[in-house]
């Protein structure tokens, strides 16, 4: 073997090992997607997801089949950090879903928001969590501001928002 061939052999073997490992990993997990914008959640509507943790009153991190997603609730808004009601809304959502299995239901015009979060209605044992948050005064109904289009449950959310108590007067 020539000297130049001997020098090229170790990098070649390293690259070959990485390629083999990559294909083995992709084949065994089935979860590597071609694009960071690809949605591994397409086609899993109605499947159960496990809520890993609550970020705020309208956003959670959930996992399913080795995939972890940040999920933004469709049709509701809750106070932001440092606003009246933030802690209460976050705590109520955590009480309802943290560490539990939920069903994610599509219903927005787009699958994701501008931050890459999956947009879904969230249900626990058939109960619409977003609607329950509105009914109890922890959230306000919001239309789909990204498209200007109503969401699938807008009429029900508006009615609940009109009848709900104000956790923080002037908010929402």
pLDDT digits (tens, 9 = 90+) for 9-45: 666 555 655 655 555 554 444 333 333 333 444 544 5
Q: H or E stretch including 129?
A: helix 129-135
Q: Are residues 19 and 80 in the same domain?
A: no
Task: Tell me: do 28 and 110 sit in the same domain.
Answer: no
14 and 68, same structural domain?
no
pLDDT of residue 108: 86
**Do residue 157 and residue 73 come from a single domain?**
yes
Same domain, 26 and 109: no
pTM of the predicted model as reported, rounded to 2 decimal places: 0.71
Strand 67-73 to strand 76-77: parallel, antiparallel, or no bridges (unpaired)?
unpaired
In a domain, 125, yes or no: yes
Total domains in the chain come to 2
| pLDDT tens for each residue of 95-104 | 999 999 999 9
CA distance 61 to 63: 7
Please tell me whether residues 59 and 23 are part of one structural domain.
no
pLDDT tens over the chain, length 172 residues: 666 656 666 665 556 556 555 555 544 443 333 333 334 445 445 689 999 999 999 999 999 999 999 999 999 999 999 999 999 999 999 999 999 999 999 988 888 988 999 999 999 999 999 999 999 999 999 876 655 667 889 889 999 999 988 777 766 6
Is 84 a member of any domain? yes
Determine, yes or no, domain membership for 7. yes
Residues known to be catalytic: 72, 80, 117
Which residues constitute the domain of residue 4?
A: 1-32
Same domain, 78 and 122: yes
Residue 171 lies in a domain: no
How far is residue 88's CA from residue 79's CA, in Å, rounded to a whole number?
A: 9
Position 40 scores a pLDDT of 47
Residue 97 lies in a domain: yes
- The verdict on residue 168 lying in a domain is no
Same-domain check for residues 72 and 17: no
What is the C-alpha to C-alpha distance for residues 65 and 48, in angstroms, rounded to an integer?
A: 10
Shared domain check, 132 and 73: yes
């Amino acid at each position: 073997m020539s000297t130049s061939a001997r020098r090229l052999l170790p990098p070649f073997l390293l690259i070959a090992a990485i390629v083999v490992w990559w294909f083995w990993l992709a084949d065994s997990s089935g979860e590597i997607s071609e694009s960071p914008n690809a949605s591994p959640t397409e086609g899993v509507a109605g499947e159960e997801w496990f809520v890993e943790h609550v970020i705020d009153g309208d956003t959670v991190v959930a996992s399913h089949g080795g995939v972890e997603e940040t999920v933004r609730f469709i049709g509701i808004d809750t106070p932001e950090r440092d606003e009246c009601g933030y802690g209460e809304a976050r705590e109520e959502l955590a009480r309802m879903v943290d560490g539990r299995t939920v069903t994610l239901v599509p219903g927005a015009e787009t699958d994701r928001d501008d931050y890459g979060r999956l947009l879904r209605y969230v249900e626990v044992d058939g109960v619409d969590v977003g609607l329950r948050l509105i009914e109890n005064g922890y959230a306000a109904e919001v239309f789909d501001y990204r498209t200007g289009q109503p969401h699938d449950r807008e009429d029900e959310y508006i009615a609940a928002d009109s009848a709900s108590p104000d956790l923080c007067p002037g908010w929402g």
